C-alpha cells in the first residue's frame, strides 16, 4: 500500500463502496476526462508543415514528412488563381483526422486564392509520392512528398 489520503485514494475508496453500475459510470467519466485533456495538447504539439501554392509552383517543391508521427500540413494559396493539392497516392496512404477537407473523390484538396486548409494525419508508409496541381501540372506545378 502506497501513501493514503491523496485524491486517487479517496476516489478508489468511493468507487469501492458503490455498486457495479456506478463504478462503471465513474470509470467512463474518468476515461472521457483523460481523453479531453490529452487530445488538444497532442494536436498542438504535432509538427506543422507549410506548403505554399502560387503561380505555378509549390514551395517547397519537395516536402519531407516523418513517418509514424502525428503531423499537420497547412496548404496556403498565396496566388491569384485557384490551386489544388492533388496527391492521390499520398492521401490514400495516410490516416487522415478529418477527411472532409478532401474534395469529392478523395484525391485532392482545393484551395482558393488567399485561403488556407490544414490536414492532420499520420503517415505510415515510407516512400516517395507525387504531388501536383491538377489544373496547372502542365505549367510545372508539380513536386513530391518524401515520407521517411
Ligand atoms: Cu494550380
Q: 21: helix, coil or strand?
A: helix
pLDDT by residue (tens digit) across 42-98?
555 799 999 999 999 999 999 999 999 999 999 999 999 999 999 999 999 999 999
Residue whose cell numbers read 507549410 = 50
Q: What is d(CA 116, CA 44) in angstroms, rounded to the nearest whole number? A: 17
Angle at 68 between CA 127 and CA 60, to 5 degrees: 55
Residues within 5 Å of ion ligand 1 by Cβ?
83, 133, 135-136, 141
**Separation of 8 CA from ligand 1 center, angstroms?**
56
Percent helix, strand, coil in the chain (nearest 5)? 30, 35, 30
Q: Binning pLDDT at 50, 70 and 90, where does residue 15 land?
A: very low
Measured distance between the N- and C-terminal CA atoms of the chain, rounded to whole angstroms = 46
**What average pLDDT does range 4-30 have in this prediction?**
45
pLDDT by residue (tens digit) across 99-130?
999 999 999 999 999 999 999 999 999 999 99
- Domain 48-147 fold: Immunoglobulin-like (2.60.40)
Q: What is the largest CA-CA distance in the chain?
A: 72
Entry pTM: 0.71
Amino acid at each position: 500500500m502506497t501513501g493514503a489520503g491523496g485524491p486517487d485514494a479517496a476516489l478508489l475508496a468511493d468507487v469501492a463502496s458503490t455498486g457495479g453500475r456506478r463504478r462503471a459510470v465513474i470509470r467512463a467519466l474518468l476515461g472521457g476526462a483523460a481523453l479531453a485533456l490529452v487530445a488538444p495538447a497532442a494536436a498542438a504539439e504535432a509538427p506543422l508543415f507549410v506548403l505554399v501554392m502560387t503561380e505555378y509552383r509549390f514551395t517547397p517543391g519537395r516536402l519531407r514528412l516523418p513517418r509514424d508521427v502525428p503531423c499537420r500540413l497547412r496548404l496556403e494559396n498565396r496566388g491569384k488563381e485557384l490551386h489544388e493539392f492533388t496527391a492521390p497516392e499520398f492521401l490514400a496512404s495516410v490516416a487522415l483526422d478529418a477527411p472532409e477537407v478532401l474534395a469529392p473523390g478523395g484525391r485532392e484538396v482545393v484551395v482558393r486564392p488567399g485561403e488556407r486548409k490544414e490536414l492532420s494525419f499520420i503517415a505510415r508508409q515510407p516512400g516517395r509520392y507525387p504531388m501536383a496541381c491538377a489544373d496547372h501540372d502542365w505549367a510545372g506545378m508539380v513536386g513530391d512528398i518524401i515520407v521517411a
